[in-house]
Amino acid sequence: MTNLRLRLSLLALLALQLSTWQWGVSYEQFLTLSGYLAINFMSLTMILAVRPAYLESILGGLDQMYHLHKWTGILAVIFALGHWLIEMADDVLKTLFGKDRSLRESDFTGLLDGLQDMAEDLGEPSLYLLIALVTITLVRWIPYRFWRYLHRVMPLIYIALAAHALLLAPMIWWQQATGWLMAVLMVGGTIASVQSLTGQIGRTHRWKGLVQSVKQASQNTIEVVCDMGKSWPGHKAGQFALVSFDAGEGAHPFTLSSADQKNGLLSFQIKALGDYTRTLPGVIKSGSKVTIEGPYGCFKPENGRAKAQQIWVAGGIGITPFLAALENRMLTRVEIYPEVTLHYCTQTVQGDPNVLRLKNLAEHLPQITLMVYDNQKDQRLSADQLHIHSKKADIWFCGPQGLASALRQDLKNHQASLRFHQERFEFR
């Protein structure tokens, strides 16, 4: 999701919530509005966390869904912190803006009164835990294999905060659209929390198989072929899957580097980019068990606009979705594919097996023009080298964020109508 699409999505969600709000100026208005937005954004965060399939195509893929999930979570923390600060400054705000007695919390008796007191007591410690977990997630202090267990506490925090919001909300809300919207979102968030706590997320898209082969493709990259049998539903070029070779480590996203040949064989190129991927060559072998969830993603280079210049840009291991797309062209042999210029940036041409593979594919696909850049020879790709000559251009990018940012910056003032497609694999 581009920054523009992300901003528009967040603004739309904010506008939807504010459209139901009964505006006024008082201490209670500030307090309840901040709490209302906090629990609503937290509910949205939980709903997005369960990877609802119907939202994937709307948001442009699971990677974009998680990017939105990250920012709804950040906004939830901001509004929750604002809610707490407003409550801490209640005397000052009441003096400045007065009180609105219609927005007082509901008055209960008996059991509900006790639950209300408990919900109020849970609010502050839950906020502290929420801030701590979101901070740990953003700064990445903890390795993924430990962080994912910490993150499982989030549904419990949500349930505590949802109880706080439900029992302390003004009674008048339940007669207005304000309360109805909050109720719908909290029901969705609670269902999502139960799914998370019981391990149901992604279960219907999970498949078990065996590693068929592991090959050292280059000095820091291995190629893993998995046999998923006849149960695999098939995939499209450019999609990815959440792959787990170790139940203790959990699943990691890897792009499918081969076209779907209807035989259940899936190929992944995995580069040693972190602690986990560096250990894989010594951990997995032929016959190892593998669990794959997916396929996910809407990064489909073949889905360009009509009459738009098609430009594919790959950096390093980012070549994988384009390898699958080229293989798919070889298998289908459709003559109506548009012409494409593929720019491949590699650390060094010598010893890179993908260079030879790309050249062989390009030789058999006349619509493909291949350009290779050797970083070791100081061959750097710039926006000028993309040679955009059409009024419309679709740029499909997969590679390092630094290269993407540089190209986006250089293309900012370009006269052509540009669309820059890029996946985001930062799932935390």
Give 195-242 pLDDT, tens digit per residue.
999 988 888 899 999 999 999 888 888 999 999 998 899 998 889 999
- Mean pLDDT, the chain, whole residue set: 87
324: amino acid identity, one letter: A
According to DSSP, residue 287 is labeled T
CA distances from 219 to 152, 266, 351, 353 (A): 36, 22, 8, 10
Residues 6+ apart with CB under 8 A from 338: 304, 310, 367
pLDDT for position 136: 82
Give 159-178 pLDDT, tens digit per residue.
999 998 888 888 888 889 99
pLDDT for position 113: 59
Lowest mean pLDDT among 237-246, 264-273, 275-284, 340-349: 275-284
What is the CATH number assigned to the segment(s) 3-197?
A: 1.20.120
Contact between 192 and 50 under an 8 Å Cβ cutoff? The reply is: yes
pLDDT for position 34: 93
For residues 216 and 113, which has the higher predicted lDDT (pLDDT)? 216
Percent of the residues in the chain that have a pLDDT greater than 70, as a whole number: 94
Which CATH superfamily hosts domain 203-296?
A: Translation factors (2.40.30.10)
Instruction: Provide CATH 3.40.50.80 ranges for the chain.
Output: 309-422
φ, ψ of residue 371 to 5 degrees: the values are -125, 125
CATH domain 309-422 topology: Rossmann fold (3.40.50)
Mean pLDDT (whole number) for 239-263: 88
φ, ψ of residue 280 to 5 degrees: the values are -60, -45
| Residue 365, pLDDT above cutoff 60 | yes
CA distances from 319 to 20, 252, 311 (A): 47, 18, 13
For residues 48 and 301, which has the higher predicted lDDT (pLDDT)? 48
For residues 283 and 156, which has the higher predicted lDDT (pLDDT)? 156
Instruction: Provide CATH 1.20.120 ranges for the chain.
Output: 3-197
Instruction: Provide CATH 2.40.30.10 ranges for the chain.
Output: 203-296
Mean pLDDT (whole number) for 34-43: 96
Mean pLDDT (whole number) for 86-102: 84
